[in-house]
């Protein structure tokens, strides 16, 4: 079989046609899907009907899974599924309400971040004009690496950036609104503040080589990097801003408009992503995410 693909007009975000991810997928067909995933970084399947077990089973075809580090939003009976949701049931949030609302790679707090993630749309917010809200944007850091201006490439190649969870947390809290009546953070935010992991610092190569394809990509996340090794904070800030501006050039970015039943998977080395928070209750957005373990085993828990 030769896989049918509807290509987007960007390097990533291509739709794989005619596949039921809940069904039996023959080994040769699966190999083509995996090759497309490796090659393009973001692929998607529309009109899927997946129970949590089926999503986990399809995800496991790609290898081991890893649980999301903030455990309180992992599904109780299927901890491999991390719930992203703004729905509140009996006063309790169903999932993390504001997951991924900045340009990032998943779980940069780990020494060897996950291979990728798979997000399945259960509920999609539709506004009064009938338009879907809560898009997810993806940027190809592989295509961005290929298009790097020579001077910026020379500046970052061989360098490591210092990812610092405390710096990220402080930056994130400065953007988190307090309750206008109590003047304090919500109970959910306070719980997360007390549960957050101890300060984690990871030194990541700014250019990572993909373990399966050998292709180079820029490794970056907004707000997470305190500085670049061997550079002052000021010097680092200028370089990081140049990297950010380059990676987010429109030609490298695909914006996914969700419909219920979409299953989107992204490679965590060759792209960045960002969730757009342009909706609120009573509109509901609920997604189930599985996370594919790193292809390079983590030596120490991080
Ligand atoms: C994530 O970063 O895993 C969440 C993305 C989204 O909800 O669109």
Q: Give 182-237 pLDDT, tens digit per residue.
A: 777 666 666 556 555 567 889 999 999 999 999 999 999 998 999 999 999 999 99
Ligand 1 center–CA 133 separation, angstroms? 13
Q: Note the pLDDT of residue 249.
A: 98
Percent of the chain with pLDDT strictly greater than 90: 76
> Which of 16-25, 59-68, 122-131, 180-189 has the weakest average pLDDT?
180-189
* Ligand 1 pocket member 84 (CB < 6 A): yes
* Ligand 1 pocket member 85 (CB < 6 A): no
Q: Note the pLDDT of residue 109.
A: 86
Report the CATH superfamily, name and number, of domain 5-126+134-294.
Clavaminate synthase-like (3.60.130.10)
Give the residue whose CA is nearest to atom 8 of ligand 1.
275
Ligand 1 center–CA 17 separation, angstroms? 23
Show contacts of 5-12: CB within 8 Å, 24+ apart: 5/36, 8/254, 10/140, 10/251, 10/252, 10/253, 10/254, 11/40, 11/41, 11/140, 11/142, 11/143, 11/252, 11/254, 12/40, 12/41, 12/42, 12/138, 12/140, 12/143, 12/254, 12/266, 12/270, 12/271
Output the pTM of the full model: 0.91
* Ligand 1 pocket member 289 (CB < 6 A): yes
Q: Note the pLDDT of residue 199.
A: 73
Ligand 1 center–CA 11 separation, angstroms? 20
Percent of the chain with pLDDT strictly greater than 70: 91
Q: pLDDT at residue 282 above 90?
A: yes
- For the CA of 136, the nearest atom of ligand 1: 8
- For the CA of 82, the nearest atom of ligand 1: 3
């Amino acid at each position: 079989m030769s896989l049918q693909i509807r290509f987007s007009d960007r390097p990533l975000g291509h739709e794989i046609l005619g596949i039921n991810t809940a069904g039996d997928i023959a080994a040769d067909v699966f190999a083509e899907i995996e090759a497309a995933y490796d090659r393009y970084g973001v692929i998607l399947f529309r009109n899927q009907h997946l129970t949590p077990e089926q999503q986990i089973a399809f995800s496991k075809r790609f290898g081991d899974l890893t649980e999301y580090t903030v455990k309180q939003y992992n599904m109780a009976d299927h901890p491999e599924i991390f719930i992203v949701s703004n729905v509140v049931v009996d006063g309790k949030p169903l999932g993390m309400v504001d997951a991924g609302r900045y340009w990032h790679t998943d779980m940069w707090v780990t020494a060897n971040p996950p291979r990728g993630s798979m997000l399945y749309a259960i509920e999609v917010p539709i506004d009064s004009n009938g338009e879907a809200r809560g898009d997810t944007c993806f940027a190809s850091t592989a295509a961005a690496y290929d298009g790097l201006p020579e001077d910026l490439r020379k500046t970052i190649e061989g360098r490591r950036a210092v990812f610092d969870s405390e710096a990220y947390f402080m930056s994130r809290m400065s953007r988190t609104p307090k309750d206008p009546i109590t003047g304090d953070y919500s109970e959910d935010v306070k719980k997360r503040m007390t549960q957050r992991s101890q300060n984690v610092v990871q030194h990541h190569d700014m250019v990572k080589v993909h373990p399966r394809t050998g292709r180079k990509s820029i490794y970056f996340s907004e707000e997470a990097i305190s500085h670049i090794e061997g550079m002052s904070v000021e010097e680092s800030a200028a370089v990081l801003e140049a990297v950010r501006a380059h990676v987010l050039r429109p030609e490298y970015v695909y914006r996914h408009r969700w419909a219920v039943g979409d299953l989107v998977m992204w490679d965590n080395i060759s792209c960045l992503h960002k969730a757009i928070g342009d909706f609120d209750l009573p509109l509901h957005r609920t997604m189930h995410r599985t996370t594919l373990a790193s292809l390079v085993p983590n030596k120490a828990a991080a």
